C-alpha cells in the first residue's frame, strides 16, 4: 500500500476575489491554472507548509484561515487539501516567482474564465460556494 503525500493549496482570498496561478512546469501541467501551494514536508504541519509555499512561490506573507471541506486525489501518491488563506496587511503583492508564469485575481463571476487543472475543478467548485455565500451575506 502506498503512502499518500498531502499537497496543500491556498484559496487565497482578497476583497471577494480568488487568486489563480498558471503553472509554468512540468510540461504536462504548464499553461493550466491551479491554487498555489505544494507538498507538505515530513514533520511539517499543513498550515505551515501552506504559508511556506506561498512565501516561496509568490513572495507573500499570508496565513491559513480555514480548511475547505474535502480531499481530492491527484496523480498517485498525492492528494489535494485546500485552505482558505489571506494576505497579511503588510504583505507584498503576489508575484509569480516560482512554478508559475501568470497570476489572476478572479471575482466570483470570473472563476471559470481560466483553464483550471482538471483535478482542481472540484476544489474550485467548493471555493465558489464559499464566495457565493460571502457575497450573499454581504448583501
Ligand atoms: N500546488 C498545487 N499542486 C497541484 C495542484 N493540483 C495538482 O494536480 N497539483 C500537483 C502538481 C504537482 O504534481 C504536485 C505539487 O507539486 P508542487 O510542484 O506544487 O510542489 P512543491 O512546490 O512542493 O514542489 P517540489 O518541492 O517537489 O519542486 O501536485 C494545485 O492546485 N496546487
Whether 125 is in the pocket of ligand 1, judged by its Cβ within 6 Å, is: no
Lowest-confidence pick of 22-26, 79-83, 118-122, 133-137: 133-137
Mean pLDDT of 14-30: 97
Which residue's CA is the nearest one to ligand 1's atom 20?
A: 38
From 70, 65, 63, 102, select the one nearest 84 (Cα to Cα).
Answer: 65
From 55, 69, 68, select the one nearest 99 (Cα to Cα).
Answer: 55
Q: How many degrees, rounded to 5, is the angle at CA 36 between CA 5 and CA 55?
A: 100
Whether 24 is in the pocket of ligand 1, judged by its Cβ within 6 Å, is: no
Interface predicted TM-score (ipTM): 0.94
* Mutation choice for ligand 1 from 39, 52, 84, CB with most ligand atoms inside 8 A: 39
The C-alpha cell that represents 24 in the structure block: 509554468
Tens digit of each residue's pLDDT (9 = 90 or more) over 57-113: 999 999 999 999 999 999 999 999 999 999 999 999 999 999 999 999 999 999 999
Whether 94 is in the pocket of ligand 1, judged by its Cβ within 6 Å, is: no
Which residue's CA is the nearest one to ligand 1's atom 12?
A: 38
Q: What is the pLDDT of residue 139?
A: 64
Whether 39 is in the pocket of ligand 1, judged by its Cβ within 6 Å, is: yes
Report whether pLDDT(33) > 80: yes
Cβ contacts of residue 126 below 8 Å, gap of 6+? 68, 69, 70, 82
The band of 2, judged by pLDDT with boundaries at 50, 70 and 90, is low
Amino acid at each position: 500500500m502506498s503512502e499518500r503525500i498531502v499537497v496543500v493549496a491556498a484559496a487565497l482570498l482578497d476583497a471577494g476575489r480568488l487568486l489563480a496561478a498558471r503553472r509554468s512546469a512540468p510540461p504536462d501541467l504548464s499553461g493550466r491554472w491551479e491554487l498555489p501551494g505544494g507538498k507538505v514536508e515530513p514533520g511539517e504541519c499543513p498550515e505551515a507548509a501552506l504559508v511556506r509555499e506561498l512565501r516561496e512561490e509568490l513572495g507573500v506573507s499570508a496565513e491559513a484561515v480555514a480548511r475547505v471541506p474535502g480531499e481530492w486525489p491527484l496523480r498517485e501518491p498525492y492528494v489535494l487539501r485546500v485552505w482558505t488563506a489571506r494576505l497579511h496587511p503588510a504583505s507584498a503583492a503576489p508575484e509569480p516567482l516560482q512554478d508559475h508564469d501568470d497570476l489572476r485575481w478572479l471575482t466570483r463571476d470570473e472563476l471559470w474564465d481560466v483553464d483550471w487543472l482538471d483535478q482542481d475543478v472540484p476544489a474550485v467548485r467548493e471555493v465558489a460556494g464559499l464566495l457565493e455565500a460571502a457575497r450573499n451575506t454581504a448583501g
